């Protein structure tokens, strides 16, 4: 397992201190949250030791002074954009976020549908929220944005957006992902607040890129890999260098828009901005929580390789263009990395090739490899009774439980009726059991097979393990691996030539 490279307690202490310093300067602070507010799994992977819910725990401590606005871009709802970490659409992620925020006793003020242009799917989502008692606001595209500051900061620009009534000194503006309109929502609110005579400020809760880590550090390059579809590029913040003589890393969009953003804020507040650079605007103390740089570098390299595989699969599915896939490949090559540098890739491919030889076929033979905590690689192959991912899971827990590979954890008497049900009653084309179905069958076997219980007890030990599939996993297997805490990648090949019955 990866060693600890990050101290979450030190990070939380530093981050909360600097946020409170910002709050004390204003009647109200609009705090844009860059990255994921909840379950920041990217940060957890590249910073071993990072708490994926560190941000929300910080807000929980400040809950008496915080309320939250969630933004989601109407276009992302319309095209069913997926949050990769969970495999759910952005609109569903908004619902999940609301539930999770409430579980931390945080006040969710409302949801803003940004750049709304009467998209049908966005309208349906608004109705769904409204009928569940969630306040919903829509923002149209801002007239004059991004260059005509006089129009932007007027009743024809931000003034056309409805004002969202807020009552607490810290208003957190968050979203399922980037490009959701968080900044525009903050600025729109600031415009209305200033017209009502309140002194308001803006700041950004940053995670990546890490400003005080070198530009070409794997940690910062991993951020480029994670945002490859947005074409983000890390750069030296020239404004920060000119103002302070200090090298700081930021990304191209923030640096390019800073002069306009600074003018907008100054026009809204009618005073000179305290910010001299985009780095100034952010509160980012992540770099101060790193306790083992080599561990962080290695974790970041592995994340870059994983992102390459993910982008390859998204290209195959038609979600991203070829340029995006090529950029993911170039980012990996920039650090001299190869797909095979991910330890589980070669064993899974070797198992697949061996199956092809045994079966004397040129067709793909799906195989999955899982690396356990002790470094052991366990593989699984697809069969008529279960798919390769499910077989690998069973083989892994049998190894952990020290159960002989020849012993059946799930008897054919349980598997065969399920296969028959899928085939004869449900009329499914593929009768092989997926991971979820196999785990349910395993839990049923506990009643008659003590070995099954021993194996079930070992499932928790798969959390944090790495896996690779020689074919694109079906959605169920991918989500089951994710729930078990297994980081899985796939080669960008479909398991069969079927277009629908995959």
Q: Give the pair of three-digit tokens for residue 333.
A: 């090559």
Residue bearing the bigger pLDDT, 446 or 84: 446
Pick the CATH number of 347-490 from 1.20.1250.20, 3.40.140.40, 3.40.50.1580, 3.30.70.360: 3.40.140.40
Query: Quick one: pLDDT at residue 2?
Result: 65
Query: Quick one: pLDDT at residue 501?
Result: 60
pTM: 0.89
| CATH architecture, domain 1-201 | Roll (3.10)
Phi, psi of 40, rounded to the nearest 5 degrees: -80, 80
Spatial distance between the Cα atoms of 254 and 277, rounded to a whole number of angstroms: 9
Mean pLDDT of 427-437: 89
Percent of the chain residues past pLDDT 70, beyond the cut? 99
Return contacts of 6-10, CB within 8 angstroms, 24+ apart: 6/47, 6/48, 6/49, 6/50, 6/289, 6/290, 6/291, 6/292, 6/296, 7/49, 7/289, 7/290, 7/291, 8/49, 8/50, 8/51, 8/54, 8/289, 10/288, 10/289, 10/291
Residue 26 confidence class, pLDDT cut points 50, 70, 90: confident
User: Has residue 53 got a pLDDT over 70?
Assistant: yes
Tens digits of per-residue pLDDT, 128-148? Answer: 999 999 999 999 999 998 889
Mean pLDDT of 17-24: 84
What sign has the CA pseudo-torsion 48, 49, 53, 56? negative
Q: Quick check: 169 and 156 in contact, CB under 8 A?
A: no
Name the 3-class secondary structure at 492: coil
Sketch the domain layout of the chain as residue ranges.
1-201, 293-324+327-334, 347-490
- At residue 225's C-alpha, the angle toward residues 223 and 231, to 5°, is 95
Mean pLDDT of 52-76: 92
Tens digits of per-residue pLDDT, 239-271? Answer: 999 999 999 999 998 999 999 999 999 999 999
Lowest mean pLDDT among 51-60, 101-110, 485-494: 51-60
Phi, psi of 260, rounded to the nearest 5 degrees: -70, -45
Most confident of 30-39, 170-179, 187-196: 187-196
Query: Quick one: pLDDT at residue 497?
Result: 77
Query: Quick one: pLDDT at residue 36?
Result: 79
Mean pLDDT of 228-241: 93
Q: How many CB atoms lie within 10 A of CB 261?
A: 20
Which residue, among 100, 25, 94, has the nearest Cα to 55 in the 3D structure? 100
Spatial distance between the Cα atoms of 342 and 302, rounded to a whole number of angstroms: 7
Q: Quick check: 315 and 492 in contact, CB under 8 A?
A: yes
Percent of the chain residues past pLDDT 90, beyond the cut? 77
Residue 502 confidence class, pLDDT cut points 50, 70, 90: low
Q: How many CB atoms lie within 10 A of CB 354?
A: 14
Query: Quick one: pLDDT at residue 500?
Result: 66
Tens digits of per-residue pLDDT, 299-313? Answer: 999 999 999 999 999
Query: Quick one: pLDDT at residue 427?
Result: 86
Query: Quick one: pLDDT at residue 177?
Result: 84
Q: Quick check: 140 and 131 in contact, CB under 8 A?
A: no
């Amino acid at each position: 397992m990866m060693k600890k490279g990050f101290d979450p307690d030190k990070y939380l202490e530093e981050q909360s201190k600097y946020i409170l310093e910002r709050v004390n300067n204003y009647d109200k602070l609009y705090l844009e949250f860059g990255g994921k507010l909840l379950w920041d799994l990217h940060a957890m992977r590249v910073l071993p030791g990072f708490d994926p819910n560190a941000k929300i725990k910080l807000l929980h401590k400040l809950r008496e002074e915080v309320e939250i606005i969630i933004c989601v871009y109407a276009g992302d709802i319309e095209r069913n954009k997926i949050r990769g970490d969970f495999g759910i659409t952005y609109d569903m992620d908004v619902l999940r976020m609301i539930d999770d925020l409430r579980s931390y006793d945080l006040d969710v003020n409302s949801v803003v549908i940004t750049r709304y242009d009467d998209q049908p799917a966005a309208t349906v989502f608004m109705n769904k929220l409204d009928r569940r008692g969630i306040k919903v606001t829509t923002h149209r595209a801002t007239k004059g944005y991004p260059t005509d500051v006089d129009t932007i900061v007027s009743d024809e620009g931000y003034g056309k957006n409805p004002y969202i009534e807020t009552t607490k000194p810290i208003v957190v503006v968050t979203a399922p992902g980037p490009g959701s309109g968080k900044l525009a929502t903050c600025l729109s609110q600031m415009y209305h607040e200033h017209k009502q005579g309140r002194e308001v400020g803006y700041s950004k809760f940053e995670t990546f890129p890490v400003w005080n880590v070198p530009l070409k550090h794997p940690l910062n390059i991993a951020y480029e890999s994670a945002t490859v579809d947005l074409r983000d590029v890390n750069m030296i913040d020239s404004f920060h260098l000119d103002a302070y003589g200090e090298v700081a890393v930021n990304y191209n969009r923030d640096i390019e828009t800073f002069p306009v953003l600074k003018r907008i804020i100054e026009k809204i507040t009618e005073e000179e901005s305290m910010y001299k650079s985009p780095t100034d605007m952010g509160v980012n103390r992540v770099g101060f929580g790193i306790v083992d740089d080599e561990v962080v570098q290695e974790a970041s390299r592995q994340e870059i390789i994983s992102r390459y595989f993910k982008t390859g699969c998204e290209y195959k599915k038609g979600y991203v263009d070829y340029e995006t896939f090529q950029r993911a490949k170039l980012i990996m090559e920039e650090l001299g990395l190869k797909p095979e540098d991910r330890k589980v890739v070669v064993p899974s491919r070797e198992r697949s090739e061996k199956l092809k030889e045994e079966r004397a076929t040129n067709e793909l033979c799906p195989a999955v490899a899982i690396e356990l905590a002790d470094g052991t690689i366990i593989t699984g192959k697809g069969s008529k009774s279960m798919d390769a991912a499910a077989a690998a899971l069973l083989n892994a827990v049998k190894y952990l439980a020290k159960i002989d590979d020849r012993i059946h954890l799930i008897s054919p008497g349980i598997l065969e009726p399920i296969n028959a049900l899928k085939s004869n009653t449900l009329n499914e084309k593929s009768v092989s059991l997926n991971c979820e179905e196999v785990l349910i069958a395993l839990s049923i076997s506990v009643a008659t097979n003590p070995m099954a219980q021993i194996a079930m007890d070992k499932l928790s030990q798969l959390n944090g393990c790495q896996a690779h599939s020689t074919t694109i996993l079906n959605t169920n297997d991918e989500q089951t691996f994710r729930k078990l805490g297994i980081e899985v990648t796939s080669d960008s090949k479909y398991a069969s030539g079927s277009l629908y019955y995959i």
